[in-house]
Amino acid sequence: MSPVRVQCPTCQRDLDWETAPFRPFCSERCRLIDLGAWLSEQRAIAGESAPAEENPVTDADFRNREN
């Protein structure tokens, strides 16, 4: 049976699924590029927005707890 070949979602390079250490990416660089896109909200899962919290926690709440 021939090895499964897939494309890196970031750069589209072909790679062997079984031997790729950063699968589904071809390299750590491509993995980090993808992570950065998610963190900067360039990528998102479609869906409804989360409802706003009635009592959101603020930085002041954390400062008051530490004292």
* Other CB atoms within 10 Å distance of the CB of residue 10: 17
Query: SS3 for 52?
Result: coil
**What pLDDT score was predicted for residue 58?**
75
The verdict on pTM exceeding 0.95 is no
For residue 8, the domain's CATH number is 3.30.50.10
Q: Give domain status of residue 58, yes or no.
A: no
Q: Is residue 30 part of a domain?
A: yes
Inter-residue contact 12 to 25 (CB < 8 Å): no
Residue 47's pLDDT is what? Answer: 87
Domain count, the chain: 1
The amino acid sitting at 8 is C
Q: Establish if 21 belongs to a structural domain.
A: yes
- Mapped onto helix, strand or coil, the DSSP state of residue 54 is coil
**Given this model, what pLDDT does residue 21 score?**
93
Has residue 51 been placed in a domain? no
pLDDT recorded at residue 66: 59
Give the distance, in angstroms, between the CA of residue 15 and the centroid of all CA atoms in the same chain. 20
Q: Which residues form the domain of 21? A: 1-43
Quick check: is 33 in a domain?
yes
SS3 of residue 35 by DSSP: helix
DSSP state of 49: P
pLDDT by residue for the chain (67 residues), tens digit each?
A: 788 999 999 999 999 999 999 999 999 999 999 999 999 989 888 888 778 777 777 777 667 665 5
